[in-house]
Amino acid sequence: MRALQLAQSRTLRWIDLPEPAAPGPGEALVAIRTIGICGTDLSGYLGKMPFIEYPRILGHELGVEVLAVGPDVHTLKIGDRCSVEPYLNCGHCHACRQGRTNCCETLTVLGVHCDGGMRERMVLPAHKLHVSETLDFEQLALVETLAIGCHAVNRAAILPEDDVLIIGAGPIGLTVLEFARLVSSRLTVLELSASRRAFVRQHYPGITVVETLPDEPAAQVVFDATGNATSMARALSLARFTGRIVYVGITKDPIPLDDPLLHRRELTLLASRNAHASDFPRILSLIQQGHIHTQSWLTHRADWNDLPALMETLTTPGTESVKAIARIPCS
């Protein structure tokens, strides 16, 4: 069985892996059909992702087909198409006991802390597979990305009357936009890239899109999806008195905090990490009902054999990309 391994930064190599063992209790054997390329994958490829150690098989945004199930698995059947919840949690730590499995103290994310889905087949916990009878494999590979925005919006507890500012219109910012607009119609997107501003204007009519804003209160709820420490620090100044700021992007750089501003406005600062299991069926339902449309996001597609070239293309300066998908043919 072939797999694509990141041996070190900017070095991908094809390797042969043994075929997976038959699925045991609580497990399912799946064929990987589509792989979404995430910013985490690209950061790992460039050697900038602190949680990825080499060598590593990347890939956590997956559309898969069930090939076999363990003896006690009754929620899946052979041939089911599924999205994958790639967060492997322990189930018994403090966070897991609270139902906050996304914050498991020993959380392992496929393709980050352990080998992921850039391979032909793998065995996964059956409860991490979310079935859809109608969505195609490309749509299923986008569900995990959407889950990031879904959870962030849930964290913010937006009200219909709240004005909302989303900083950054990359893939994660777009997922926040998808769910924020289901609650509030008072949305503004702040984005420096002209091409990304044009994308939002084209595909999200009625959304206010700006290149700059003054350092003064602009919204009751502010999402920062940039992963840029300077932007994340400035987000506080853009929140109204009593406002809420949600950090969706992540950075390893220190973020300077204007404490007098934080206290004077009595702001609430929230982090958003991964997603909950309950987000996945909700997203599948919203796509099936036509409330979420993501096909316009897919700016790059590649076949399995061309995945190394796609990774290089996506990390080349000047490449305009929203979302990329790699497809593994049936074998």
Contacts of 89 (CB under 8 A, 6+ apart): 96, 101, 102, 104, 106, 107, 108
Residue 177 CB neighbour total at 10 angstroms: 23
Domain range summary for the chain, segments of one domain joined by +: 2-142+294-327, 148-271
**Per-residue burial over 64-79, b = 16 or more CB atoms within 10 Å of its CB, e = otherwise:** bbbbbbbeebeebeee
- The CATH class of the 148-271 domain is alpha beta
User: In the chain, what are the helix, strand and coil shares in percent, each to the nearest 5?
Assistant: 30, 30, 40
CATH number of 2-142+294-327: 3.90.180.10
Residue 109 has pLDDT above 80, yes or no: yes
Contact of 292 with 283, CB cutoff 8 Å? yes
pLDDT digits (tens, 9 = 90+) for 136-174: 999 999 999 999 999 999 999 999 999 999 999 999 999
In this structure, what token pair is assigned to residue 250? 């992540």
Task: Name the pLDDT band for 293 (thresholds 50, 70, 90).
Answer: confident
Collect contacts of 301-307 with beta carbons under 8 A, ≥24 apart.
Answer: 301/325, 301/326, 301/327, 302/326, 302/327, 303/327, 303/329, 304/328, 304/329, 307/4, 307/12, 307/35, 307/118
If you average pLDDT over residues 6-11, what whole number do you get? 96
- Average pLDDT, whole number, for the chain? 96
- pLDDT tens figures, 22-60: 999 999 999 999 999 998 999 999 998 888 999 999 999
Give the per-residue pLDDT at 331: 65
* Residue 317 phi, psi (nearest 5): -55, 135
